[in-house]
Amino acid sequence: MGGDSICSVPLSVVIYIFVAHLYQLYIFKKQNQKMEKIRHKLTFAFEHEFLNAGPPPFNDELIECLSR
């Protein structure tokens, strides 16, 4: 039964899993921020197109974000 104990897991493995989890959360947060920027730009373009009846302001930055 000694092998089934959580205490038998090396500390380095626990630290590695913890750091990997933090990195995963960081990546998720960065992706969420990128999606929020794209959503904001698309909303702005949509409002500009339909409220002002003009062409949407698709700039190079928006096209670059969408192409990733």
CA distance 7 to 14: 10
> How many alpha carbons lie under 13 Å from residue 38 in its C-beta half-sphere?
12
What's the mean pLDDT in 31-37?
89
Q: Is 45 in contact with 58 (CB distance < 8 Å)?
A: yes
What's the mean pLDDT in 52-67?
63
Confidence grade of residue 26 (pLDDT, cut at 50, 70, 90): very high
Q: Is 34 in contact with 45 (CB distance < 8 Å)?
A: no
Non-local (6+) Cβ contacts of 49 within 8 A are: 55, 56
Residue 37's nearest CA partner among 65, 5, 67, 2 is 65
